[in-house]
Structure 1
Amino acid sequence: MNKFLKFMLIVLILFVGAVSIQFLIKTNEADEQKKLEDAQTSMSPEQLKIETMNAISQIILHQFVENIMLNMEIEIVDGSQNITISLQASEFIDEKTLLKDSYNLLKEIQHVNSINDVTLKWFMNVKSKNTEALTLTFDSKTVHAIDELSYRDLPTAAIHYIKHEQVK
């Protein structure tokens, strides 16, 4: 019986040790995750802008063969970002194509963190002058629910939709 008690005591000590090690590992992982989240949330507004600009630039480069981005402006409001992107369209593009391109961009932009309002401004060459052709502004709720819409829904889903006379 003495050997059995010693054996059970050793098994109990090993069990307590294994549970303690698991607890320490999980605690360390949780601490590391919290430190990572704290580092991400403690980004300065300028760092947040740069991160967003990089993410959106990569999306636009991925979506379009040619370089069509003219400008990007980011305004931080209450910890979230209002983004205005100016894009160059071909002079032969119609409204349907611009809406499809806008929809594809919004599908990717929805995954960028801290987005509030997104404004897409499409410009076209008209009589050798770069002229604003289509402007769409979407709130964060619409951007994050873009998968539930189609490109045909964009004019009604936008909080601002301005189609200029150059667009067919």
Structure 2
Amino acid sequence: MKNSDEEETIIEAKASMTQEQLKTHTMLLLTEIVLKQFVENIMLNIEIIPVDEKQNVIVSLRASEFLNENTLLKDSYNVLKEIQHMEEINDITLKWFMPVNNKNTEILTVMFDDEALVAFDEISYKDIPQASTQYIKHEHLD
């Protein structure tokens, strides 16, 4: 009985949040997820766009110049596995950047809309290119 009371209190608190408070709450949760997944700080930016009661989120991440597509898919999968449970997120986009010819270049973009996130438990990291709403791979990524 106590858990349902706590859940109801959390739901009421979220309902009374302003857009700015919800944005800050989402940023903190995303930062916590990314920091938990990776030893080093790879987060470059978080952009949050309010959409009705939810948010579209773009997370920019720094990839090492030695990473390949398979590793980035695994890393994306681990982050998305956690993010999928965040009710305030509508669409999530992960953008991976790495140095290419001494310039910070977007090498992989993976987007999941709310429908694709719901089905995320049914896929593996290898399925991300087909299961994602948008998948863009730079030519320099093997």
Q: TM-score, normalised by structure 1?
A: 0.78
In the alignment, what sits opposite 1:78?
52
- List runs of 5+ in structure 2 lacking aligned partners: none
CA distance in 1, matches of 2:16, 2:98: 40
Bigger mean CA deviation after superposition, 89-98 or 138-147: 138-147
Q: C-alpha deviations, 1:10-54, integer Å up to 9, x for none?
A: xxxxxxxxxxxxxxxx9xx96x87565333201100000000000
Partner residue of 2:99 out of 117, 121, 125: 125
Code of the aligned partner of 1:54: L
1:43 to 1:128, Cα distance in 2 relative to 1, 3 A: same
Code of the aligned partner of 1:80: K
1:148 to 1:33, Cα distance in 2 relative to 1, 3 A: closer
Partner residue of 2:68 out of 94, 97, 101: 94
Partner residue of 1:111 out of 76, 85, 110: 85
For the pair 1:151 / 2:101, whether they are aligned, the reply is: no
- Count the aligned residue pairs: 140
1:77 to 1:54, Cα distance in 2 relative to 1, 3 A: same
Q: CA RMSD for the aligned pairs? A: 1.8
Q: TM-score, normalised by structure 2?
A: 0.91
Q: Which has more helix, going by share of residues?
A: 1
1:137 to 1:34, Cα distance in 2 relative to 1, 3 A: closer
In the alignment, what sits opposite 1:135?
109
Instruction: Give the drift of 1:128.
Output: 1.5
- State the SS of the aligned residue for 2:40: coil
- State the SS of the aligned residue for 2:87: coil
- State the SS of the aligned residue for 1:121: strand
Q: Which has more strand, going by share of residues?
A: 2
Q: C-alpha deviations, 1:42-82, integer Å up to 9, x for none?
A: 11000000000000000000000010000000001011110
Q: Percent identity?
A: 56
In the alignment, what sits opposite 2:15?
41
- State the SS of the aligned residue for 1:165: coil
Instruction: Give the drift of 1:101.
Output: 0.4
Query: Larger relative contact order (C-alpha < 8 A, sep ≥ 6)?
Result: 2
CA distance in 2, matches of 1:90, 1:41: 39
